[in-house]
Amino acid sequence: MSKRLDTDDRRRYFIVGSVILEIVTPVFRQRLEKDYKSKGLGCLQDFINSKPVIHILFHLRHTNIKCCVDTTNCRNRRKLPLNYSQWDLLYTENPGPPKHHCHCLYTTNNVKLDDLDITLASLILLNCCNLTSNEETLIKELREFKNNYLSHNTKGAITEKEYQTLWNDLMTRVLQLDPSKQDDFIRIQNRPLDDSLCNKYFVCLLDIHKKLEEISDKLSSTADILTAMNINNDQSNVELFTKLEVGTNTEHIFMCCHQLNQ
């Protein structure tokens, strides 16, 4: 592949990634804000702390548990859609010996809308908010979109052919949720490739944990590898990942997604 083509593929990835991080994620956050304001709640923390919401989210993370305060609406799921880091971002376990295995053990963190990435924002929207069925479909499709084109895209490139179909789909869906974003699409589409920003977006959008699991399946056990390399936090997982899989082109790759979202 020629250098020129490479750059174009990369620029298309940058454009689509920018739309997800700079347009779709804020639209999701704004929709969430609209929902809790309509319920008379002043901030995200109050919403996350409200009884129905903590109850729903608790059962998205914990299995086989009946709550002490609300046994009738308890659900027991096989698959837990909320992962540990998402739960830990929202809630902290109270100190002291636990009396109940229930959401009453947890207090809500001082969490802000900007702390939520697209995945967590969509999980909360789809499970805890009053959406129209059209909104629900659009949010699911946009989340899928990110998974299909970016989360597993280890090349950080999108071909012309792929881009031609996905661009219109992406834009139509977003504009149905928020028609005021038209100008942002034009601005982003005309933007030249910014390599360092592109690398940051790449790390943000790639599902590092999924990738690490795949890699560790190929090698022996993750635990052994991580212990051997003395690696035990997310930041270092990024380093491990880049060592194993990406190799080159990683000058700015150590930026944490969290900082980006601020």
Binding residues for ligand NAG, rule: CB under 6 A, are 52, 83-86, 117, 119-120, 130, 207-209
Cα separations (Å) of 36 from 18, 32, 131, 206, 227?
27, 6, 12, 30, 43
CB of 185 to ligand NAG, least distance (A): 24
Question: How far does Cα 200 stand from its chain's mean position?
Answer: 15
Which residue, 67 or 185, has its beta carbon nearer to ligand NAG?
67
Which residue, 84 or 95, has its beta carbon nearer to ligand NAG?
84
CB of 7 to ligand NAG, least distance (A): 28
Which residue, 9 or 117, has its beta carbon nearer to ligand NAG?
117
CB of 105 to ligand NAG, least distance (A): 21
CB of 140 to ligand NAG, least distance (A): 15
Question: How far does Cα 245 stand from its chain's mean position?
Answer: 21
Q: Specify the DSSP class assigned to residue 116.
A: -
Which residue, 90 or 158, has its beta carbon nearer to ligand NAG?
90
CB of 89 to ligand NAG, least distance (A): 8
Strands (E) across 103-211 are located at 106-108
Which residue, 83 or 242, has its beta carbon nearer to ligand NAG?
83
CB-based contacts of 188: which residues, under 8 Å, 6+ apart?
A: 15, 18, 19, 22, 23
Handedness of CA 141, 142, 143, 147 (dihedral sign): positive
Helix (H, G, I), strand (E, B) or coil at 92: strand
Which residue, 33 or 207, has its beta carbon nearer to ligand NAG?
207
CB of 210 to ligand NAG, least distance (A): 7
CB of 96 to ligand NAG, least distance (A): 27
Strands (E) across 94-240 are located at 106-108
Which residue, 84 or 192, has its beta carbon nearer to ligand NAG?
84
Going by C-alpha positions, the residue among 257, 185, 154, 207 that lies closest to residue 19 is 185
Phi, psi of 82 (to 5 degrees): -95, 130
Going by C-alpha positions, the residue among 179, 104, 101 that lies closest to residue 138 is 179
Q: How deeply is 167 buried, as exposed, middle or buried, from its count of CB atoms within 10 A (0-12, 13-18, 19+)?
A: middle
